[in-house]
Chain A
Amino acid sequence: MIPKPHGGKLVNRVVTGEKRDRLVLEAEELPVLSISYERAVDVVDIAHGVFSPLEGFMVQSDYLSVLHDMRLSNDLPWTIPVVLDVDPDEISGIKEGDYVALKHGETIVAVVRIDEIYGWDKREYAEHIYKTLDLRHPGVAKTMKRKELLVGGLVDLLNEIEYPVKHRVLWPIETRVLFREKKWERIVAFQTRNVPHLGHEYVQKAALTFADGLLIHPLIGWKKPGDYRDEVIFMAYEALIKHYYPRDTVVLAGLLMNMHYAGPREAVHHAIVRKNFGCTHIIIGRDHAGVGNYYAPYEAWTIFNEFPDLGITPLFIREAFYCKKCGGMVNEKVCPHGEEHRIRISGTAIRDMLRRGKTPPEYVMRPEVARAVIEAGNPFIE
């Protein structure tokens, strides 16, 4: 059964028709807050129900509750704050209850009703969300650069923003209708930012064995140099699905959402979001959304013990490797052989080979996938 959205109701804050016409005119008269691309992505996610039940940026009670207890103030599980930061200067003269326009570049993206203006402790944020104050952690570095105050309030989306592979991005209401049309009841989500190697395929197929369908859900949006371009990830997956998956078992769709590298907390966040897309299960990696050595091994799994009321089931499938004795892809749970028989797949090594235009061995990557990546020309962000 397709699960209810988190909190019971799918949020829709996308304004259309006459109401939009009226708000667009009104917005021109409103004070303007300039927002970054990442905050614009948050706005779009809120409006399209990706963050249901959030209808806007968090007020202080929700923010603090999420920070300390990993729940909204109404006790619903939530692990990553969704907050709008502002400079005291740009907000001077604006008081609670006022409406402001959120502008990214030249576009007025949304109107927000300011429900609360409050301060935050960015170090406290980093310690709770990233478990470190180390500025080499990409999330910490970003947090420390954010502005000094937060504003909470209801969002009304007026204009969509630009993003890659727009024609492959589906919103929660769309995947829900799609799953219903396909008559899928057990749907497993797979989060990724990579082109697929055989390890990914093994994990997905392990899950697909008992499910009706698989939602391969690459995260679209800001990437760092050296990451695969969004277009390339899609081309690679299209090749894999075409040659190696049964018809009508996979939906490949992009998810426009910010990446935080918040490890365990982000694993739960990813689960909640996929519940909103209508998934019943999500595959969680051992080091899901991790970076460096900031999180303990398996922490991304054990954190789920704290959320019996999540409403989506995490699948803890172990990393796959090739075992020469078993003669195929296996994992630690099913292969009794020693490390000397195992060939572990290294994402970095694959990247290096593809960069040089070389096809990785067949036990590492499907030749059709490698070809799609190599033929894409420049597969990486420069």
Chain B
Amino acid sequence: MASEDKVRVEVLLPKELYEKAVERGREAGFNSFNEFLTFLLEQIVEEEETEASLSPEDEERIKERLRSLGYID
């Protein structure tokens, strides 16, 4: 994970919000605002990569097993 490509970006934030966020991140145990912001963005932006890698055949095979075991109709 350490080898991931990173970019430097400039963002404009309301001062008060930024200060609150820094404080909140620190309280939650994050080492930096950068780390806190990355975590938050991951939660919201990145989703469901997993199943993107599932081929239609694999998906059908999984559903077939789920059907045969009575988990789906």
Residues of A within 8 A of B (CB): 1-2, 4-5, 7-10, 74-76, 167-168, 170, 173-174, 176-178, 180-182, 251, 253, 305-309, 311
The reply to whether B66 and A178 contact each other, CB–CB distance below 8 Å, is: yes
Residues of B within 8 A of A1 (CB): 47
Residues of B within 8 A of A4 (CB): 42, 46-50
With A178-B72, A309-B39 in contact, is A74–B2 under 8 Å at CB? yes
Alpha-carbon distance A154/B50, docked complex (angstroms): 20
Instruction: Jot down 23 A-B pairs with beta carbons below 8 A, ordered by A.
Output: A4-B46, A4-B47, A4-B50, A9-B50, A167-B69, A170-B66, A170-B71, A173-B62, A174-B62, A174-B66, A176-B50, A177-B62, A177-B66, A178-B66, A178-B71, A178-B72, A181-B72, A251-B71, A305-B29, A308-B39, A309-B29, A309-B30, A311-B43
What is the predominant secondary structure among interface residues of chain A facing chain B?
Answer: loop
Q: How many residues of B contact A (CB 8 A)?
A: 23
Residues of A within 8 A of B51 (CB): 176-177, 180
The reply to whether A173 and B39 contact each other, CB–CB distance below 8 Å, is: no
Tell me which of A4, A9, A251, A306 has the highest count of chain B C-beta atoms within 10 A of its own C-beta.
A4
The reply to whether A181 and B39 contact each other, CB–CB distance below 8 Å, is: no
Alpha-carbon distance A170/B50, docked complex (angstroms): 17
Tell me which of B50, B62, B63 has the highest count of chain A C-beta atoms within 10 A of its own C-beta.
B50
Residues of B within 8 A of A (CB): 1-2, 28-30, 39, 42-43, 46-51, 54, 59, 62-63, 65-66, 69, 71-72
Residues of A within 8 A of B30 (CB): 308-309
Residues of B within 8 A of A75 (CB): 1
Alpha-carbon distance A7/B2, docked complex (angstroms): 12
Alpha-carbon distance A251/B72, docked complex (angstroms): 10
Alpha-carbon distance A8/B47, docked complex (angstroms): 9
**Min CB gap B58→A, angstroms:** 8
The chain B residue sitting closest to A8, CB to CB, is B49
Alpha-carbon distance A76/B59, docked complex (angstroms): 29
- B28, B59, B66, B72: the one within 8 Å of A308 (CB): B28
Alpha-carbon distance A11/B19, docked complex (angstroms): 38
Residues of A within 8 A of B50 (CB): 4-5, 9-10, 173, 176
